[in-house]
Amino acid sequence: MGYVKFLGTAGAQFVVARQLRYSAGTWMELAGTQLLLDPGPGTLLRCRKVRPPLDPARLQGILLSHKHLDHSTDVNIMLEAMAGGGTKRRGVLLAPADALEGDDPVVLGYVRRFPEHIEALAEGKAYRIGKVEIHPVAHRHGVETYGLILESAEGRLGFVVDTRFFPELSQRYQGCHLLVLNVVRREWSPGVDHLSLPEAVELIKAVRPKLAVLTHFGMTMLRARPRELATGLSEKLGIEVLAASDGLTLQADRWTPP
Ligand SMILES: [Zn+2]
């Protein structure tokens, strides 16, 4: 059975800088295809330290939502590791164009020979890695950023990565069985390029997934105890809401329709 594993759940700079939560990415196996989303600082280390350890040489693809450090720091080493330590060409990288080109790309030139294929994300296009079809959703977050919808025999998964709230978000993620939301702030914070909890709740109510998972926490969320917030929301909304913790693994039967 497929699964999603949260190697890290840290959001804002302070939580990342002090490693109050790990800042590693999210690993998943869907219909037998292993993918890694947003390899932030410490991702390779966390892959090898979790039980059972995860083998980067079995990854088929790395998905980079945007180039901010807390999402991209380990992208180069993970590309090399996916290619068996750089011994062969292997795997796929999907990333925004501004992570690959322009003034400040985060993928090193010499590392680009390791994956078999590198492609820039664009809204409206669909991508396939193994048994998973990938649909990017353009977000609003300062740098070029894409949320991701992953479709496979194990349902429709929406990863609402960093973004400012905008009303069309809920339409874009319609039909997701699992909805993972990066919720940095506890209180509504106009003018900030991140979702706050009240905005995440609006999205969950509009999409009505089988399971919603909050992650990528900043200090105000951590202080408010994410697990208790999630329990309260589950009762209020009648939708199962979980707060991710470092290492949390969710099996696909938690969200797949019967
Ligand atoms: Zn960001």
> How many angstroms separate the alpha carbon of residue 212 from the centre of ligand 1?
20
189 CA distance to ligand 1 middle (Å): 16
Question: What pLDDT is recorded for position 136?
Answer: 98
pTM: 0.97
Alpha carbon of 91 to ligand 1 centroid (Å): 24
pLDDT digit string (tens) for 139-184?
999 999 999 999 999 999 999 999 999 999 999 999 999 999 999 9
Ligand 1: distance of its center to the CA of 123 in Å? 18
Give the pLDDT score at 140: 97
CA 87 to ligand 1 centroid distance, Å: 32
The β-bridge relationship of strands 92-95 and 117-120 is: parallel
Find the 31 Cα to ligand 1 centroid distance in Å: 29
List Cβ neighbours of 107 (8 Å cut-off, separation of 6 or more).
Answer: 75, 76, 79, 93, 95, 99, 100, 118
- For residue 224, count other CB atoms closer than 10 A to its CB: 14
- Low-confidence stretches of the chain (pLDDT < 70) are none
Q: How far is CA 96 from CA 14, 66, 122, 170, in A?
A: 25, 6, 7, 22
The encoded tokens of residue 84 equal: 């068996």
CATH topology of domain 3-254: Metallo-beta-lactamase; Chain A (3.60.15)
- Tell me the C-alpha distance between 219 and 43, whole Å: 21
Query: What pLDDT score was predicted for residue 95?
Result: 98
Q: What's the confidence (pLDDT) of residue 190?
A: 84
Q: List 258's β-bridge partners, or say none.
A: none
